[in-house]
């Protein structure tokens, strides 16, 4: 199992244990982290799994593809490190990944 750290906009921290191959969105939903909704089920069509990848982890999670970039234009408060959690698949090298969560998905 791998450990993923989620930090809410107001500083609350949550840990999620996940299997490799799980997406950040699935990790949040499966561990009861309410700040990620995943309304579309993970097909990159709603942007309700918007999150911010901690700067220290950006090289491990990679860059968004063109479809994800288009969807990121729909999020509230986008930042340079904005990603959609459904598009980040957790690998062994992401053990300890830190994800920051926005105040709202809408």
Residue located via tokens 């791998």: 2
Q: Give bridge partners of residue 23 from the DSSP assignment.
A: 89
- Quote the number of domains for the chain: 1
Determine the pLDDT at residue 29.
97
| DSSP-assigned letters across all residues of 85-103 | GGG-B--GGGTTEEEE--S
> Is 106 contained in some domain?
no
- 46-75: average pLDDT: 97
Determine the pLDDT at residue 92.
98
Contacts of 10 (CB under 8 A, 6+ apart): 103
For residue 7, give its domain range.
2-100
> Is 38 contained in some domain?
yes
> Is 49 contained in some domain?
yes
> Is 12 contained in some domain?
yes
> Is 105 contained in some domain?
no
> Is 94 contained in some domain?
yes
Mean pLDDT, rounded, of the chain: 97
pLDDT tens digit string along 14-53? 999 999 999 999 999 999 999 999 999 999 999 999 999 9
CATH number, residue 27:
3.10.20.30
Contact criterion met (CB below 8 Å) for 65 and 86: no
Determine the pLDDT at residue 106.
86
Q: What percent of the chain has pLDDT over 90?
A: 99
């Amino acid at each position: 199992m791998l450990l993923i750290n989620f930090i809410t906009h107001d500083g609350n921290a949550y840990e999620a244990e996940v299997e490799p191959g799980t997406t950040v969105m699935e990790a949040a939903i499966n561990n009861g982290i309410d700040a990620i909704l995943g309304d579309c089920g993970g097909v990159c069509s709603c942007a309700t799994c918007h999150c911010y990848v901690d700067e220290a982890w950006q090289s491990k999670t990679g860059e968004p593809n063109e479809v994800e970039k288009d969807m990121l234009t729909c999020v509230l408060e986008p930042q340079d490190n904005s990603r959609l959690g459904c598009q980040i698949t957790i690998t062994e090298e992401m053990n300890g990944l830190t994800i920051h969560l926005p105040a709202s998905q809408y």
